[in-house]
Amino acid sequence: MEKKEFKLFTDAKIRKTIKVDYISVDIFKSDVCIFKGKTQKELYTYWKNNDKECNATTKNFLQETGNVIIVFNEANPSKEDVVHELTHATQMIMHNIGHSYGDKEADEPFAYLMGFLVKSYYKINK
């Protein structure tokens, strides 16, 4: 599947104000894109989302672009916020590939992907 880029990724004004990290999940033909900084106002406008501001949010754009987008309002989010949002990303990727996560007592594919995302995040953000 060819991945399309969002207008947001090429918007020079936004790219100057935020950091973007990418975690490639090649086996499932997807990426987790992580934006950091005070970006939610711009992203909520872009997404036409009226949710209240929070510490972080995760959006599923897998069908359109192959990406899961995570936005953290802070440059150094808490471990709790990181794991929380990476759990949403894992759920979205599992759902996108048709995996019925949670149907088993020990869901190894879900657990392995979750572990991979957490390890990758902290490798990028030493």
Residue 40: the pLDDT is 60
Q: How many domains does the chain have?
A: 1
Amino acid at 4: K
Give the pLDDT confidence score for residue 59 in this predicted structure: 83
DSSP designation for 125: T
Would you say residue 119 lies in a domain? yes
Other C-beta atoms lying within 10 Å of the C-beta of residue 19? 13
Q: Which two tokens stand for residue 12?
A: 């020079």
What kind and span of H or E run contains 44? helix 40-47
Q: Kindly report the CA angle at 32 between 65 and 96, in degrees rounded to 5?
A: 60
Contacts of 18 (CB under 8 A, 6+ apart): 35, 36, 37, 38, 39
Mean pLDDT in consecutive groups of 10 residues from the start of the chain, 126 residues: 45 58 91 78 62 74 84 87 96 91 77 96 93
3-state secondary structure of 14: helix
pTM score:
0.79
Residues spanned by the domain of 112: 7-124
Residue 1 domain flag: no
Taking alpha carbons only, the member of 41, 77, 42 closest to residue 56 is 77
Contact 71, 60 (CB under 8 A): no
Any domain includes 38? yes
Structural domain includes residue 110: yes
Task: For residue 97, tell me if it sits in a domain.
Answer: yes
With respect to residue 2, please indicate whether it lies within any of the assigned structural domains.
no
